[in-house]
Chain A
């Protein structure tokens, strides 16, 4: 699958409003993956993913921080969510969107994971899941 196809699939699956928004979501999920994926793992992936996506994985560390957890992973993705100016779904609170932005971030991760899993081979599909923080790994498995 090429980069454009990857974006189209994510956008169709998630119902995102624009191509720009989809690009931003994909970029941040991949950057978060780069935080937990050991550098040596990139070599095999470069044959299976479009180069535009590999760019985001270049930030991978030789030895990922063992304490990088699901909260940090989601942080990269929550940053792509417009937390203000949306309809207030809280009960009387003023946290316009923040109250449930975690759920939305997980939904966005799931959309990207689904397309990612369909793009890479079985070996990489399994190993990527094994590097993800616990809560995120479960999300990946279910995508």
Chain B
């Protein structure tokens, strides 16, 4: 499938050179590789530079309030388990404002692929430190350097029970597309934390900074076993000098949240009372319009 099918005519307002461009491209490539039609995908986002992404794609999009894309996406996945649900939001939206939802999504294991555009700064609001900013990081709101220890999202995800944990780099779109494909094919919640330089407000964690530190797990250690939680835990704590990218943890066979909801076993809500799929009668459209429009 040609990835251009997902192109939208909307004018892009990201800064030139923003790492979000690579994430957008990788997502389109991943969808095209899996031959997923635009109407079969829902991309949910929150608030932030990266959360503008659904606007730049020809797919179903839902830009919700700050920090809430995961519960919205969980609801969508429950209502229509056949939908490919992808959440794309930044580190502030995911781990700060939406931190609570992040924890509980990890343990619930809904069938959602979560791509975090982690630029370690609040870009849209002009460069304040975020939950993943390294300690000592100087910004307008931390003129003497951030006093707080940076959140380690991969370790948190592992500790909270996430069944798929990966890290990508915006400078490696090919690998990122592969990770998104793997995350979407995983049965359950898949976290893909993408190191994404903010070229305007983060002058520390630049493309060059990352390039000199990152290494690909599968290339560096062919014996690395992503089903081992101990190995993943160790790799999740590598930072500063060397930063691993790739699939850190992948555990299959864990029931998803949807699998465990009794009401979903026979049919999805969308195929039940509101179904237009099996019996698309005009009066049903009218009935739905009366209820919801």
Query: What is the interface of chain A, defined by CB distance below 8 A to chain B?
Result: 28, 31-32, 35, 59, 65-69, 71-79, 83-84, 94-95, 97-98, 101-103, 105
Instruction: A103 to B17: give the CA distance in the assembly, Å.
Output: 11
Query: Is B22 interfacial (CB 8 A cutoff)?
Result: yes
Give the residue of A67, A68, A69, A71 whose beta carbon is less than 8 angstroms from that of B18. Answer: A71
Interface residues as binary, B174-196 with A (CB distance below 8 Å gives 1, 0 otherwise):
11010000000000000000000
* Contact between A79 and B206, CB atoms less than 8 A apart: yes
Instruction: A72 to B173: give the CA distance in the assembly, Å.
Output: 9
Query: Quick one: which of A35, A66, A67, A76 has the most chain B CB within 10 A?
Result: A67
Question: For residue B176, which residue of chain A has the nearest CB?
Answer: A67
Q: In the complex, what residues of B have CB within 8 A of residue A72's CB?
A: 17, 19, 21-22, 170-171, 173, 207
A67-B22, A95-B15 known, 15 other contacts, Cβ within 8 Å: A28-B208, A31-B207, A32-B207, A65-B174, A71-B21, A72-B21, A72-B22, A76-B17, A76-B206, A77-B17, A78-B16, A83-B199, A101-B15, A101-B200, A102-B15
* Contact between B25 and A31, CB atoms less than 8 A apart: no
Query: Quick one: which of B21, B22, B206, B207 has the most chain A CB within 10 A?
Result: B207
* Contact between A83 and B201, CB atoms less than 8 A apart: yes
Q: In the complex, what residues of B have CB within 8 A of residue A32's CB?
A: 207
Q: In the complex, what residues of A have CB within 8 A of residue B171's CB?
A: 35, 68, 72, 75
Question: For residue A103, which residue of chain B has the nearest CB?
Answer: B16
* A49 → B minimal CB distance (Å): 19
Instruction: A98 to B175: give the CA distance in the assembly, Å.
Output: 28
The 5 A-B residue pairs with the shortest CB-CB distance in the complex, in nearest-first order: A102-B16, A75-B17, A71-B21, A78-B17, A67-B173
Give the residue of B18, B126, B173 whose beta carbon is less than 8 angstroms from that of A65. Answer: B173
* Contact between A79 and B25, CB atoms less than 8 A apart: no
* A106 → B minimal CB distance (Å): 8
Give the residue of A65, A79, A97, A102 whose beta carbon is less than 8 angstroms from that of B197. Answer: A79
* Contact between A67 and B29, CB atoms less than 8 A apart: yes
* Contact between A102 and B17, CB atoms less than 8 A apart: yes
Q: In the complex, what residues of B have CB within 8 A of residue A68's CB?
A: 171, 173
Give the residue of B26, B126, B206 whose beta carbon is less than 8 angstroms from that of A67. Answer: B26
Instruction: A83 to B127: give the CA distance in the assembly, Å.
Output: 11
Question: For residue B197, which residue of chain A has the nearest CB?
Answer: A75
Instruction: A50 to B132: give the CA distance in the assembly, Å.
Output: 39
* Contact between A78 and B15, CB atoms less than 8 A apart: yes
Give the residue of A67, A75, A94, A102 whose beta carbon is less than 8 angstroms from that of B19. Answer: A75
27 contacts between A and B (CB under 8 A): A31-B207, A59-B211, A65-B173, A67-B25, A67-B173, A69-B22, A69-B25, A71-B18, A71-B21, A72-B17, A72-B22, A72-B170, A72-B171, A73-B17, A74-B16, A75-B19, A75-B170, A75-B171, A76-B206, A76-B208, A78-B15, A78-B16, A79-B197, A79-B199, A101-B15, A102-B16, A105-B16
* Contact between A67 and B211, CB atoms less than 8 A apart: no
Query: Is B203 interfacial (CB 8 A cutoff)?
Result: yes
Query: Quick one: which of A78, A79, A94, A103 has the most chain B CB within 10 A?
Result: A79
Q: In the complex, what residues of B have CB within 8 A of residue A95's CB?
A: 15, 126, 200
Interface residues as binary, B107-139 with A (CB distance below 8 Å gives 1, 0 otherwise):
000000000000000000011000000000000
* Contact between A69 and B207, CB atoms less than 8 A apart: no
Q: In the complex, what residues of B have CB within 8 A of residue A28's CB?
A: 208
Query: Is B148 interfacial (CB 8 A cutoff)?
Result: no
Question: For residue B19, which residue of chain A has the nearest CB?
Answer: A75
Known A-B contacts A69-B25, A101-B16, A102-B16; the reply to A31 vs B172 at CB < 8 A is no
* Contact between B173 and A75, CB atoms less than 8 A apart: no
Known A-B contacts A76-B207, A84-B127; the reply to A66 vs B174 at CB < 8 A is yes
Instruction: A143 to B177: give the CA distance in the assembly, Å.
Output: 33
Which chain B residues in 1-30 approach chain A with CB under 8 Å?
15-19, 21-22, 25-26, 29
Q: In the complex, what residues of B have CB within 8 A of residue A69's CB?
A: 21-22, 25, 173
